[in-house]
Amino acid sequence: MDAEKKIQGLREELQQHNYNYYVLDAPQISDYEFDMKLKELQELEEKYPEFEDVNSPTQRVGGAVTKNFATVVHENRMYSLSNSYSKEELEDWETRIRKIVEGKLQFVCELKYDGASISLTYEKGTLKKAVTRGDGFQGDDVTNNVRTIRSVPLKLKGDFPKKFDIRGEIVLPYEGFAKMNAERVEAGEEPYANPRNTASGSLKLQDSAEVAKRPLECLLYSITGNSTGIGSQFEGLEKARKWGFKVPEESELKDSIEEVLQYINYWDEHRHDLPYETDGVVVKVNDFHQQEELGHTAKSPRWAIAYKFKAEQESTKLNKITYQVGRTGAITPVANLDPVQLAGTVVKRASLHNADQIEKLDVREGDTVFVEKGGEIIPKIVGVDFTKRDPESNPTEYATHCPECNTALVRNEGEAQHYCPNVNGCPPQIIGRIQHYISRKAMDIEGLGGETVALLVNAELIENYADLYTLKKEDILPLERMAEKSAENLINGIEKSKEILFERVLFALGIRYVGETVAKKLAKHFKSIDALMAASEEELVNLDEIGERIAWSVVDFFKTEANSENVRRLKEYGVQLEISAEKLANQTNILEGSTFVISGVFQQVSRNELKKLIEDNGGKVSSSISSKTNYLVAGENMGPSKLAKAEKLGTNIISEADFFKMLE
């Protein structure tokens, strides 16, 4: 047998044994036999390097070292899910869905595993790319590390599409986690806190050989891409299993919300029997056409919801209440606690939110309090054990002055939060604003992290984000832990930030109440910072989804001399403060004032492309028909009740071809 055939045969055999062991949990040969075959393949590959393949089973052992993980834009955005905590919230979700889609509804129930989200890209049946969730729009390329995870197939089998993404969760089973911790304790090292954080941290280890030593697993749950030939979520799960992916067998198809609730109740009781951490159930509308019809909000799909199991709760002693200052000057009271183990982590601090919450719960220093993790992420105090209260304790008196700069705090009418008004002299506000400016969703300045910002401010090298563009390498080299290469990366990252689009710069400025979605809307409408600065409150309120609070905040921000001066300087340094001519060329106001509803399946473009065309040309897309709807763009397989409602209201019903004529 020639070498190439022998190598190929061994690769296929080992891939099948990997699949039997790590996916099916049904090994057919001993570990020793497997290792002997792997060794034989390694020797052949070394002897015949011309037959090298990055997806060979020999690559599972790792060895590639990654210093900087490249940022990759997701071809299909990774959305987060809306959460629900009760039967009523689930029923409300179903009611909202039924108002938009027609026909029989089926739901897929999947356990919500607690790990690190990942997106895997396959082309022609081989693994090409593995990217972390990041901010949903872009993440880190961790392909070398993910190749070492044995339950991730490097080559697929069966009738897979030419190209697709599959999403899942990288988890660390309890058994493997316990074994890792036992080894660490034996070696005199600190044990890891919990499986989730350890799995997430493993993906960013620089040496993939170290990742290979960890018993990570990858559980897959969602296929995305064009022309996959898949019509529903459950069909996608079944196909993914046949192609070689580890898809949890606990996923089930249900015909009603009642059946969904039975599934939730069962797993709420039996979740501790599972080999992995799970904190809830994800419920998805099964049919992909119905999913398309439902669409997304700015943050999450309307066709899916996460039901979170009741959070774990513990009691502990509250030793002291301290106060934190945020970048907007908002004051957050923090409870400093006796350490307590909660949902896999040691909790020492918890948020008390604001003065009203402290008064409502009557929380006092020295109390024994009940702590739980809200959504099992952020610890919060939910009550006081009054039976253990010292009878001589006094009610909490809320702070009157800023803990950082001693300025008297203010509380605006109708607001729960106290604020420090010393905007330009309070260190945490100064540092916080710059940290927000450089953050990933904003300017994403590579080489510059939150700690370095604090160092720069404390060294009096910068006072605001405009000062970043005046930094020179020789200024920052004397800073603690700042080497030549780090200084170069920082200066290059600041320079590269001048290419960031206007809408993200607007978000980066840190205007109160102006999040990502509002920043996009304002950038699209005003097209330049000058036009936005000249806008009145009345003009802003007239925009869709811009209320009085946002309008006041925008006008107030630019009225402040320090802010308008920073904007002037940013413009001078070359930061993008208007929509580029190239982007403007693809936008018109042809559809301004018109609201569209899209329904059905289209031939020339996808539904998302159709939505983008409407928005790029000044129109608005709505999910349901009302008296305000101007046009219903009707595709194939459109729901009959939508059509009937449009006819009843006298809405213009147009085809895909009619729509493109409108654009001409």
What residues are labeled active site?
112
* CA-based end-to-end distance of the chain: 64
Number of Cβ within 10 Å of residue 155's Cβ equals 19
Collapse the DSSP code of 129 into the 3-class scheme (helix H, G, I; strand E, B; otherwise coil) and give the result. Answer: strand
Specify whether the CB–CB gap between 308 and 373 falls below 8 A: no
Nearest-CA neighbor of 642 among 102, 75, 161? 102
Residue written as token pair 């899916």: 304
Contacts of 332 (CB under 8 A, 6+ apart): 323, 324, 326, 351, 352, 353, 354, 417
CA separation for the pair 599, 295 (Å, rounded): 10
CA separation for the pair 509, 500 (Å, rounded): 13
CA separation for the pair 247, 285 (Å, rounded): 18
CA separation for the pair 13, 388 (Å, rounded): 65
Collapse the DSSP code of 316 into the 3-class scheme (helix H, G, I; strand E, B; otherwise coil) and give the result. Answer: strand
Specify whether the CB–CB gap between 316 and 369 falls below 8 A: yes
**Phi, psi dihedrals of residue 589, rounded to the nearest 5°:** -110, 20
Contacts of 434 (CB under 8 A, 6+ apart): 453, 456, 457, 462, 464, 465, 468
CA separation for the pair 348, 568 (Å, rounded): 44
Nearest-CA neighbor of 329 among 465, 436, 452? 436
CA separation for the pair 533, 579 (Å, rounded): 15
Going by their DSSP bridges, the two strands 138-140 and 71-73 should be labelled as antiparallel
Length of the chain: 664
Specify whether the CB–CB gap between 505 and 516 falls below 8 A: no
Chain CA centroid to CA 585, Å: 31
Nearest-CA neighbor of 588 among 616, 550, 557, 626? 616
Q: Which helix (H) or strand (E) holds 163?
A: strand 163-171
Nearest-CA neighbor of 218 among 18, 455, 48? 18
Number of Cβ within 10 Å of residue 441's Cβ equals 17
Helix boundaries (H) for 222-313 = 233-243, 257-270, 288-294
Instruction: Give me the DSSP letters along 429-487.
Output: HHHHHHHHHHSTTTT--TT--HHHHHHHHHTTS-SSGGGGGG--HHHHTTSTT--HHHH
**Phi, psi dihedrals of residue 279, rounded to the nearest 5°:** -125, 15
- At position 17, the amino acid (one-letter code) is H
Specify whether the CB–CB gap between 139 and 72 falls below 8 A: yes
Number of Cβ within 10 Å of residue 340's Cβ equals 17
Number of Cβ within 10 Å of residue 113's Cβ equals 24
- The DSSP code for 219 is E
